[in-house]
Structure 1
Amino acid sequence: MASIASLVYFFVFAIASTWIAEVVRGWWLWTRKLEDDRKREEKRTLSNRGKPSTKRLSIVIPAYNEEKRLPAVLKSTLEYLVKRRDREGSSFTYEVVVVDDGSTDQTAVKAWLCAKEMGAEDAVKVFQMQRNSGKGAAVRTGCLNAEGDLVLMMDADGATELTHGLEALEFALCQRLMKKSKSSGTGAKRAGEGAKASMGAEDTGPASRRKKAAGRGNVIQEAGGYTHLSQQTVACFGSRAHLEQEDIVTKRTRVRNFAMHGFHLLVFMVVGGSIRDTQCGFKLFTREAAFALFQHQRLKRWCFDVEIVNIAQRLKIPILEVQVKWQEKDGSKLKFLHVFHMALEILTVFVCYNLKFWRIKTAAAV
């Protein structure tokens, strides 16, 4: 009987060892493929990184099967940009980069039709990926092909209010650079007035709009203007952390909240707690920061945001976190089973960067 039991244990051990070895081998091949894909994307966009910016602002919108939601979001985005150009002058130039992540519906067609309807064919670029690769891959493609001094990444569902969110992130970024350059007391006073103008905000009359535009212009000028901003390496993340006790979160199911807290714990273990909300789909980068971060990004799906934070920490690129107005939208692509894949991605970031399987080539200047 002892010999039979030993034989059974041996076979169980052999089968388990073989299975574990295959899992590890599959994971290793996956990480190598991610690295190879990153190198190809970096090489393909190399020429763009050597070019000077041609726009003040680029807005990158990753989209997968968003033919229903994208047109309304794209229309409101273009309307905002046109109004802002009218207020701030023709020097405020912009582009909207829509990256169709291998959609099976008419996402790209709807984007083109919306641009044509708005008379904005020259301001809208649509990149169509050959197959569905994931949100991270779409964002990387858009940001590495962007031509703006500032690059904003925003989701196609329009969950974050663009006007308040973008201007709040811009103001935080400018303030950080002004503090760094030790601006004069007069400059700080003007910056404060600019903050009230751009973020103050219940009055929507013509005088109020002019005041906001002037304030925003003052803040950007105090920070050195768009060209100076583009040459800095700073990122600014929109955050929903202040909403954790709101009804929008407390009404979620216990399972979803459990998964959320588990995810936050994994994120804390990998990148610490300096950024409370890594997953908000509303992030602003200077041109230099966008290239420095996304040329190193490997993950293609849900946890690319966590990897970006990890890369920024290693390159010593500061990330600011700013509260934004956000509301949950129907039609989320994230399913419960994706949580397990997200956990694998986070652990992959931890292992591959700490064991130098994935390397950061150069350090960016802060």
Structure 2
Amino acid sequence: MDCFLVVPCLRESGRVEGFLRELCEEVNASELSIGLLLVDDGSGLSEVEALRRIVARLRNDYPFLEEVYAMQKHLGKGAAIRSGWRLAPSDSVLLGFVDADGSVSASETVRVLRDALEEKDLCLVMASRRAVGAKVERSGIRKCVAAGFAAMVKLVYGVGVLDTQCGCKFVDNAWFQAYSLELRELGFGFDLELILKARETGCPMREVGVVWTEVEGSKVGLSTLWNLGKRVLLRRIGQTSEK
């Protein structure tokens, strides 16, 4: 299998269906071997049932779409992604995730995946809102906050990645299996933890500029970024299991 792709979901049944359908269409047209899994992050029974109905409507046409995996309680985005990746077939070359809101479109997701498959010497390939070729539709205040966060990460950790938090990443499965037990972040710190672990282990990585569109209903509010920023300043990313 070329890639096992996880879509983490927290109360996403109201908006994920359109994106999921587009993603299935793009995967089907790509002629790549891809498994696609929605992981519900403890949203509750009614939400899980709604996701299962969405998947049921699509599975006849897209058999690579797996049954929904439901976590028993809400742990965070990072925990949901890791839980999904651990269900991947052992022959998966890459593991990936993409946010359920569709801010990185289905076509852009598959494009980044193709780049990751072509560059076999890399073990982490990331969609980026700041790399060459990126086009971003975003409010001014969020642009400023994102730029400030990136500058802080570079100052504290010395990370040269331009955009650590864009919600579409692909990792080498063998690398993940080797280091998965060392990954501890439950929530939005998982993206940065992946990057730090990649650097620590000498894992080559690259950013791919994408078209990114801000979508209403984001789960990443300014308070979330503030809390994540405090953990960065305290150098606690990867040191504690926090949402």
Q: Which of the five TM-score ranges fits, normalised by the shorter chain?
A: 0.7 to 0.9
Number of the residue aligned with 1:239: 128
Q: Could you tell me which of 301, 311, 330 is aligned with 2:187?
A: 301
Shift of residue 332, structure 1, vs aligned partner: 0.4
Number of the residue aligned with 2:3: 57
Larger Rg: 1
Shift of residue 266, structure 1, vs aligned partner: 2.2
Q: Could you tell me which of 307, 318, 333 is aligned with 2:219?
A: 333
Matches within 5 A, 1:268-347: 268-347=154-233
Unaligned runs of 5+ in 1: 1-54, 86-91, 178-232, 359-366
Number of the residue aligned with 1:100: 40
Q: Could you tell me which of 68, 71, 84 is aligned with 1:142?
A: 84
Measured in 2, the distance between the counterparts of 1:117 and 1:282 equals 25
Q: Which secondary structure state, in structure 1, belongs to the residue aligned with residue 94 of structure 2? A: strand
Q: Is the 8 A contact 2:19 2:105 kept in 1?
A: no
1:77 matched to 2:19: no
Q: Identity percentage over the alignment? A: 25
Q: Which has the higher contact order (CA 8 A, sep 6+)?
A: 2
Q: Which secondary structure state, in structure 1, belongs to the residue aligned with residue 225 of structure 2? A: helix
Letter paired with 2:24: L
Shift of residue 234, structure 1, vs aligned partner: 0.8
Shift of residue 246, structure 1, vs aligned partner: 6.7
Measured in 2, the distance between the counterparts of 1:84 and 1:135 equals 27
Q: Is the 8 A contact 1:99 1:139 kept in 2?
A: yes
1:117 matched to 2:61: no
> Structure 1 pair 352/112, CA: closer, same or farther in 2 (3 Å)?
closer
Letter paired with 1:127: Y
More helix by share: 1
> Structure 1 pair 93/244, CA: closer, same or farther in 2 (3 Å)?
closer
Normalising by structure 2, what TM-score?
0.84
Q: Which secondary structure state, in structure 2, belongs to the residue aligned with residue 337 of structure 1? A: helix
Measured in 2, the distance between the counterparts of 1:141 and 1:293 equals 14
- Count of residues paired in the alignment: 236
Number of the residue aligned with 1:190: none
More strand by share: 2
Letter paired with 2:188: W
Number of the residue aligned with 1:171: 115
Measured in 1, the distance between the counterparts of 2:41 and 2:136 equals 32
Q: Which secondary structure state, in structure 1, belongs to the residue aligned with residue 7 of structure 2? A: strand
Measured in 1, the distance between the counterparts of 2:127 and 2:177 equals 19
Shift of residue 274, structure 1, vs aligned partner: 2.1
> Structure 1 pair 326/145, CA: closer, same or farther in 2 (3 Å)?
same
Measured in 2, the distance between the counterparts of 1:84 and 1:316 equals 31
Measured in 2, the distance between the counterparts of 1:283 and 1:263 equals 19
1:154 matched to 2:92: no
Alignment RMSD: 2.7
> Structure 1 pair 334/243, CA: closer, same or farther in 2 (3 Å)?
farther
Q: Is the 8 A contact 1:155 1:281 kept in 2?
A: yes
Normalising by structure 1, what TM-score?
0.58
